A = this chain, B = another copy of it.
Amino acid sequence: MKPIGAVAIFWTGLALLPAVAADDAHEWRDVDPNNLVLIDTRYGEVAVELAPQFGPTHVERMRALTRAHFYDGLSFYRVIDGFVAQGGLGEGTASTKDHPKEAAALKRWPALKAEFERLATPDLKFTPLGNPDLFAPEAGHVNGFAAGRDMKQGRLWMIHCPGTFAFARDNGADTATTEFYIVIGEAPRRLDRNLTAFGRVIDGLQYVQKLQRGDQNIDNGVIQDSRRRDPILRIRLAADLPEKQRPHFQVMQTDSAAFAKEKAKRKNPAPEFYVRTPPPVLDVCGVPVPVRRVR
């Protein structure tokens, strides 16, 4: 047994961040503080990048809710292991009755028109993954987000992967108002084009994983005892913080050579470890888009 022991297992199985080279600026982009939502949980800060290209009115709503301090003091009231962590008011659930004032204030936030998908316009650079997908005619990335595309229909949408940020809704398509969810399990692709996904967690998903779970057989996962729900301490938009207090993140450009290299590395992982070369395909949700915190 070599001293490195079993830890050698995944050396290159992971998409480790490449060493930061001085001249790689064109392969990364800065996350716009107007699109950076910071969710404070008792476990740590969760950073979400919003994607106006996928859900412009939902992004606007999220900014407005944040600025109104709507979420501060509410909770992750419905958390189902392997599926989603849902936060906000929880209308019509055991959560609402604990917040009558907020429930009454809901009329300030009328239902939004669905943004499940959009036109595949040429301004959105879609980089195909390069292999088939089980669920979409084409899978790939747009500006750091996993996306599906159907060129026959000329449509494009955000794919539900672990970390995807979206708004919950009622049975009708145009019924989302304030409740959000974050995917915490194996990609629930059946939700694609059925809900408005408009962001993703770029840092701190591990804190979402620590949230108190509900029992999916009781009230569809809503945690009945409000004292057991983990609070949303506060949600802020980075743009609203003094410049010096904002975290700064960069996301690897998904149409860059650097990202193509990441994908190639995952398709052809370390031959010294992989006794059998894995099939040369990727799950679009199994390819982490690299993120780095600049400060």
A276 at the interface (CB under 8 A from B): yes
Q: Which residues from chain B contact A195 at a C-beta distance below 8 Å?
A: 9
Q: CA of A80 to CA of B225 in the docked complex: distance in angstroms?
A: 31
| Residue in B closest to A179 when the chains form the complex, CB atoms | B6
A209 at the interface (CB under 8 A from B): yes
Known: A5-B96, A278-B194. A188 touches B134 (CB 8 A): no
Q: Are A16 and B186 in contact (CB under 8 A)?
A: no
Q: Which of A58-66, A68-76, A169-177, A253-261 forms part of the interface with chain B?
A: A169-177
Q: How far is the CB of A75 from chain B (nearest CB, A)?
A: 14
**Size category, A interface:** 35 or more
Q: Are A283 and B205 in contact (CB under 8 A)?
A: no
Q: Are A170 and B6 in contact (CB under 8 A)?
A: yes
Q: List residues of A whose CB falls within 8 A of some B CB.
A: 1-11, 13-14, 16-17, 78, 80-84, 86, 88, 90-93, 96, 106, 111, 114, 116, 131-136, 161-162, 167-171, 173, 175-177, 179, 181, 184-195, 205-206, 209-210, 213, 216-217, 219-222, 266, 269, 272-276, 278-279, 281, 283, 285-286, 288
Q: CA of A98 to CA of B116 in the docked complex: distance in angstroms?
A: 52
Q: CA of A159 to CA of B116 in the docked complex: distance in angstroms?
A: 32
Q: CA of A285 to CA of B265 in the docked complex: distance in angstroms?
A: 23
Q: Which residues from chain B contact A279 at a C-beta distance below 8 Å?
A: 134-136, 189
| Residue in B closest to A161 when the chains form the complex, CB atoms | B186
Q: Majority SS of interface residues in chain A?
A: loop
With beta carbons under 8 angstroms apart, the residue of B132, B210, B217 that contacts A17 is B217
Q: How far is the CB of A289 from chain B (nearest CB, A)?
A: 12
Q: Are A7 and B190 in contact (CB under 8 A)?
A: no
Q: Which residues from chain B contact A184 at a C-beta distance below 8 Å?
A: 209
Q: How far is the CB of A124 from chain B (nearest CB, A)?
A: 20
Q: Are A7 and B222 in contact (CB under 8 A)?
A: yes
Q: Are B189 and A1 in contact (CB under 8 A)?
A: no
With beta carbons under 8 angstroms apart, the residue of B3, B4, B14, B176 that contacts A6 is B176
| Residue in B closest to A93 when the chains form the complex, CB atoms | B7
Q: Are A7 and B90 in contact (CB under 8 A)?
A: yes
Q: CA of A283 to CA of B189 in the docked complex: distance in angstroms?
A: 9
Q: Are B83 and A170 in contact (CB under 8 A)?
A: no
Q: Are B91 and A6 in contact (CB under 8 A)?
A: yes
Q: Are A92 and B135 in contact (CB under 8 A)?
A: no
Known: A93-B5, A194-B275, A276-B193. A10 touches B220 (CB 8 A): yes
Q: CA of A200 to CA of B274 in the docked complex: distance in angstroms?
A: 22
Q: How far is the CB of A273 from chain B (nearest CB, A)?
A: 5
Q: How far is the CB of A266 from chain B (nearest CB, A)?
A: 7
With beta carbons under 8 angstroms apart, the residue of B83, B92, B135, B188 that contacts A4 is B92
